[in-house]
Chain A
Amino acid sequence: MLFNSYIFVLFFLPAVILGYFLLNRVRLYRAAMLYLLGMSLWFYGYFNKWYLLIMLGSIALNYLSYLGMRKFADNKSLKKLIAVSAVAINIGALFYFKYYDFFIENLNAVFKTDFVLKNILLPLGISFFTFQQLSFVIDAYKGELPKYSFIDYACFVTYFPQLVAGPIVTHDELVPQFANQEKKRFDWDNFTKGLYAFVLGLSKKVLIADMVGNVANYGFANIEQLDSLASITVMLAYTVQIYFDFSGYSDMAIGMGRMMNIELPLNFNSPYKACNINDFWDRWHITLTRFFTKYVYIPLGGNRKGVARTYINIMLVYLVSGIWHGANWTFIFWGICHGAFCVLTRACKKSISKIPKAFGWIVTFAFVNIMWIFFRAESMSDAFLLISRIFTGGFGGINSELCGSIMSAEWNFLAAQIGALASHSYVILAGYIVLPILGAVFCKNVYERMQALKPSVFNTVLTSLLLVLCIMSFAGVSTFLYFNF
């Protein structure tokens, strides 16, 4: 199920909250957890029944490994075998679903072999729930876990707000909250603040990210036709899209958790405020950085084995991060470049601290923008082509296709009423790029906003109107283009 769908907002979410708190109210605590588990499974299985089976298999396997490691806690070698096998199977499954075709394509390209692609469909969220469970299995091996029942574990992995797109929550963050009796009582403060965060997150996704996404999609599909200005616009559009989409999802997750008195970890702390690349990674997809730090960087030695080894460890982490993000050389290149820039920044820390923050911001923002091109492009050559269009495209006037791609029903309506708007529609496009970037740079993060929320008529009207606008944007009217023959 998608968060931005009628069934989720109008049926699923109200049903979960009502059912969960009603069952808790009549002290059927176990039933409430089972209800939450059942609804989360329905949420996931709604996409595809087979994905659900894969995820259930993954949960069963990891829980059994946990039980095995508890049972054989004194048998070090058996315990290690179980842990290693579980980790291998988790990563193996992730590799199979996500990277098999990529691996075969490259094998064929390098060795001129003719292996057949399987066109494997990727189960949604597999990167997230695999990492979540890896952290659980590794912590279990280290003996860092209290006793968890299967329900505890299953609810933790499948908890619907964070299941498909994070934040990557650790067991010790979530399970104790489910066990906390205080949290089982409905709380209007939390509900309203959570609803507010949910609506802001939904608006970020539906009203901003999806709109500028049309610009980015058009641009990346027609790179050759873009001049310099259009190329820069497309690049910025994607920069806006990816942040508002991903952080929107995280805000929704955090908001929904808060509605249920569950605190989910912050995932985005205004990353476009960063004045150096290391600061950017402290603010962007925080839970992923946290995972890599704990389970990759520190086991490799972190910064405790000399400067050269530190830099190598950093590069390895970013390489793995690139691979995690997607099965394409573009992601790997993106990861490596970020790693290299992080290493460079770290190496020149002293000199950088003397540079004015504004300059640091410009360099960081420019770097992140250019690297997003690789993240989004279908291929390395497409990415380089767009970058070269920025510098060599010249100025061909206002690109009407790009302006057209942002004109939704409400803008067309306004343009029909206001003649000036109709003839200067590029103002709307510019607004969709500039205003969100300003918002990203100057606004508070989701936790700060929930904290700062004061109940008022203004906030009530704003939240209501945004939610109505979002809900009514879930479906549109498709354009049927006439083509003959």
Chain B
Amino acid sequence: MKKGDFFIIGIIIVLLLIPVIFLFVNRNDKGKVCVYYMNELYGEYPLDVDATYDIVTDLGSNTICIEDSKVSMVHADCPDKICVSHNSIRYNHEEIICLPHKIIVSIESDLDNEGEYDAITR
């Protein structure tokens, strides 16, 4: 290990810590489940009501299950099923993404203010 190696690892850790601190300061588990399809809001569901929802679109169907304040993807007919094997999410900013169906299931909190994001690319 040479001096330059530590330099590189140091830069990467610094780049890493900035959003980490930002995230943990803003973390809470009072939120609602928002489902986005093709970047537009498809539906909003409360996190405290246990329920199962089907998301049926032109690209396919996914099924999310809200249970015990956690959301998980229980079924999807996409070819890779990465979204189904994802762990359940409960804190705000966490997301389950189904890329072939262009679906993002995210937890959003009313306690966040909109000024948090400097820009959202469209």
Are A and B interaction partners? Answer: no
